[in-house]
Amino acid sequence: MPSLFPGMDPYLERSELWPDFHDTLIAMTRGLLQPVLKPKYAALTQDRLNFVEADRPIYLDVAVVRTRHSGPIAGAVAVLEPDAPSVFELWREELREPYIAIIEPATNNRVVTTIEIISPTNKNTRDGRRTYKLKREELWRAGVNLVEIDLLRLGEPIVWLSDEQRQLLRPCHYLAGVTRRRPSRHEVYEILLQKALPKIAIPLTPDDKDVIVDLQAAFNRTWDEGPYPELLHYDGPPPGLWSPDEATWCEQKLREAGMRM
């Protein structure tokens, strides 16, 4: 069954489906890029590890260390029983986030462009947002182009734009941003739910022309080879905030497909 929507399917943002969709879309995007990058460049799927920890870091007021002295503790005259503490689980989750790195083998595999498909961790957690923004700054300082594709409705905006620049954008539901190093500039693709996903110009080095990745074609391959038609029941509204007109449009698409009475 083909997707019921002309571009992004907003129901794929459900937490039980998004990780599989996210990783598969990255693999399909890499597959479309590889033939047009050869022979000078190559696209690699790489992983970044993020750690989500407790909200408050713990700093030691007193540290107990072991010394070389092996005898009894001097002045020890009694054994004290500790008071009963409150016990909390130490929570530290390791999160794997794949992305695409376009490298130039002739220059010792130098990374020229990174493609990120934004995950909920990047947008919705304090640690995730901080880690992602730090990595983005590192890429900028290293002279790497950055492509950010945000197909999520939930969460605060994360694509690299100032508040003033965001105010100038046309109304949209999703964003794809391209940050070029030379010349330095932001290019933004405003994406509407009612339209197909865009064809995005992927920058390389200044000496080479951009390559084009058809994001809709990558989505279609992801959909066709995935389990989504069998798993999506389209019950209730899609995740995220939608205006009444947008919600009505979604319901109409589902009604046309026989998913609503």
Residue 234 pLDDT > 60: yes
Is 261 a domain residue?
A: no
Structural domain total, the chain: 1
Residue 231 pLDDT > 60: yes
Is 75 a domain residue?
A: no
Is 118 a domain residue?
A: yes
- Give me the mean pLDDT over the 151-180 stretch: 92
Instruction: Please list, residue by residue across 85-104, b when 16 or more beta carbons sit within 10 angstroms of its beta carbon and e when fewer do.
Output: eeeeeeeeeebebbbbbbbb
Helices and strands (DSSP H and E) totals, the chain: 7, 8
Each residue's pLDDT tens digit, 65-92: 444 555 555 555 566 777 777 666 655 5
Range of the domain at 215: 10-50+93-234
Is 109 a domain residue?
A: yes
Cα→Cα distances 212→29, 32, 35, 54, Å: 11, 9, 11, 41
Is 32 a domain residue?
A: yes
Q: What is the CA radius of gyration of the chain?
A: 24
Residue 59 pLDDT > 50: no
Is 104 a domain residue?
A: yes
Retrieve residue 191's tokens. 């994406």
Each residue's pLDDT tens digit, 19-57: 999 999 999 999 999 999 999 999 999 887 655 554 444
Each residue's pLDDT tens digit, 196-228: 999 999 999 999 999 999 999 999 999 999 999
- Tell me the C-alpha distance between 33 and 204, whole Å: 12
pLDDT, greater one: 80 or 13:
13
Please name the amino acid found at residue 178: V
Is there a contact between 118 and 151 (Cβ–Cβ < 8 Å)?
yes
pTM for this entry: 0.82
